[in-house]
Amino acid sequence: MLSSLRRLACAAALLLAPVSCLAQASATIGILAPEGAEEASRDWDRVITYLDAAVPDTRFQLHYFDLAGLREAVARAEVDFVITNSGHYVELEASYGAHRIATLEDTRAISPTEAIASAVVVRADRADLRSFEDLVGKRVHAVREDAFGGFRIAWHAMRGAGVEPSRDFRPLAFVGFPLQEIVRAVERGEADAGVVRACLLENMARRGEIRLADFAVLNVPADDSFPCLRSTALYPDWPIAALRDTPHALSKRVATALLAMPATPGGISWTVPTDYQSVHELFRELQVGPYAYLREQTLQAFLLRYRWWLAIGGLLALGWVVHTVRVEHLVHVRTGALRDALAAREAAERAAREGQEKLDHLARLGILGELSSMLAHELNQPLSAIGNFARGMERRIEAGRLESEPLLDASREIAEQAERARAIMQHIRAFSQKREGTREAFRLPDAVRNALRLFEGVGARAPRVETRLDADAAVVGDRLQIEQVLLNLLKNALDALQELPQRERNILVTCGREGAVYRVCVTDNGCGLDARQRERLFQPFFTTKPDGMGLGLTICKRIVEAHGGHLWAEPNPAGRGLTMCFTLPAPDAAAPAPERDAPAVPLER
């Protein structure tokens, strides 16, 4: 009636003011009418009347549809706006780009997000039907398979209770709209149960179409604040949605008008668009609507189902490939650089090693040069003895004294002295030869004695050398280099004794174990060094000798440290002279050597 009156008013306006009416735009609103157009017009005509007044330059037209009809109208772009249930809206949103601009707010509902539910209706006298499980094997009616409040909400709740409608009902019948026919089929006994939208029973009873006491609803929540009997959880209320081609300005004006609309006598008003995520989750679990592809087993369905995971996996794989190629390239580049660096390092080490060997060789030659007069005296002794015995034998032969025993004794003495001279020359030759360093086990007392044999050829200038040696002291290293260190320390001790009379010159060589190291010390009672000279003692080219080069102790320190030990100097406790000590690690211990400023510990004879 109101719609007809509105059309008559517009026709009259066209006659009176044709230019103004022709300039008025039009907009079509498609409305889902699950209970029929007559029932729907009672709820929605007041909304359209309000929109006509609130948006005066637009003439709004209403069209009522069932689910299939409304979808076809949207597909053919015959409507500008749709008012439908939240489940149908989610499908239109996914398929046609519908976007909600407001959500219905019914004062009878708990909130706009808790307004729609399903009711599973049975006759009140069916004592055998009190839960979803009791419906197994029974006849159940629903409006459509794709109806939201009329089936899908109840389907989700039944599945949660372990009941699958398509498998457990005998039969499950979809009878179409209007919903009231399902209630009447249950009332007549044609169906054991019916699935309808919540509040349908109460509306029918209010209009006098049924008696509410003749029906019961299954699985009603206890202490429910919802105003109608329901069997399921609550979902968001109906939205009004604009379509993809609806002008944005018009959508904005309609949304603004609806949000300002006062509540109708039936308690209907509008609020801002609410969250419909719960509907998406229900559809995803049922694998229907936008998520129907989840039930398909084709490759296309698989790709569609897991498209985001596949896209993420593809990006990760691509990133991994790029990362792998980059890492391989960096490894190749850095390996080349490392190879070049190692080659350069080996070359530098080889050059340093060769330089060190040359320096050690020159140092040994220098020591022999400084001891040349001593060595000459040492060789002079066996040579003099050989001459003496030879002349004695000559005189005996000339005198005719040819007894064999004296001549044999003299021959043996000549042979012994010649062997002594040969041993001295071999030791000097071995000491002076240029050679590569070696690592082998040797006894420290043997190294000390070999150094002393080279040192003791000083003749009348020879000081008195006392030794206190641990007979079990053995280390691993280059024996000739350690002998070089000992000979250098002995030579320095001799130089420090030059100002003392011959009888007062004393040198003490000690060797013994201290914890994890063997300690060798050369002590003299010479002039000694002050604290400042001791600090600079191991610096290259520092010397206290007028003709010294200052490299002997530097080389000795380098040799000792290369063997894992320490070399240092300390004043004698008596106040005169100096003690030079070095340590070498014992082969059976891994503890660190003593610090270079460690105090000297006297060794027992």
For 304-336, the pLDDT digits (tens) are 657 778 889 889 999 999 999 999 999 989 888
pLDDT at 240 over 60: yes
Tell me the average pLDDT across 91-109: 90
The lowest-confidence range among 53-67, 299-313, 590-604 is: 590-604
pLDDT at 299: 64
Q: What was the pLDDT predicted at 413?
A: 75
* Res 3 pLDDT > 50: no
Burial classification of residue 307, based on how many CB atoms lie within 10 Å of its CB (0-12 exposed, 13-18 middle, 19 or more buried):
exposed
The candidate with the shortest Cα–Cα distance to 195, out of 185, 208, 206, is 185
Mean pLDDT of 96-125: 91
* Residue 18 scores a pLDDT above 70: no
Which structural domains are found in the chain, ordered by start? Answer: 2-112+237-274 (3.40.190.10), 118-217 (3.40.190.10), 371-434 (1.10.287), 438-605 (3.30.565.10)
Return the higher-pLDDT residue of 436 and 348.
348
pLDDT of 81 over the 90 cut: yes
The C-alpha R_g of the chain, in whole angstroms, comes to 58
Question: Does position 139 have pLDDT exceeding 90, yes or no?
Answer: yes
Neighbours of 253 (CB within 10 A): 17
Give the H or E element holding residue 63: strand 58-65
- 365 confidence band (pLDDT: 50, 70, 90): low
Strands (E), 225-316: 239-242, 268-271
pLDDT value of residue 363: 62
User: Given this model, what pLDDT does residue 14 score?
Assistant: 40
Q: Is 141 a residue whose pLDDT tops 50?
A: yes
pLDDT at 223: 80
Distance CA 390, CA 377 (A): 20
| Across 210-214, 343-347, 398-402, 508-512, least confident range | 398-402
Rounded to whole angstroms, the Cα distance separating 28 from 436 reads 104
CB count within 10 Å of CB 255 equals: 18
Predicted structure pTM score? 0.48
Percent of the chain with pLDDT over 70: 81
Beta strand extents in 367-505 (DSSP E only): 440-443, 464-469, 474-477
Percent of the chain with pLDDT over 90: 36
Tens digits of residue pLDDT in 399-437: 888 788 877 877 887 887 687 677 666 656 665 555 555
**Residue pLDDT, tens place only, 22-49:** 456 889 999 998 877 887 787 788 888 8
Residue 5 has pLDDT above 50, yes or no: no
- 281-292 pLDDT, tens per residue? 999 999 888 888
At how many degrees (to 10) do helices 444-455 and 479-496 cross? 50
Provide the pLDDT confidence category of residue 15 given band limits of 50, 70 and 90: very low
Rounded to 5 degrees, what are φ and ψ at 102?
Answer: -165, 160
* Average pLDDT across the chain, whole number: 81
Cα–Cα distance, 68 to 495 (Å, whole number): 120
pLDDT, one tens digit per residue, over 488-503 is 888 888 888 888 888 8
| Residue with token string 């102790």 | 553
Write down the pLDDT at residue 527: 82
Per the DSSP assignment, residues forming a β-bridge with 440 are: 477
pLDDT of residue 601: 33
Q: What tokens were used for 268?
A: 């209907």
Can you tell me the mean pLDDT for 67-96? 92
Cα 152 from Cα 72, distance rounded (Å): 21
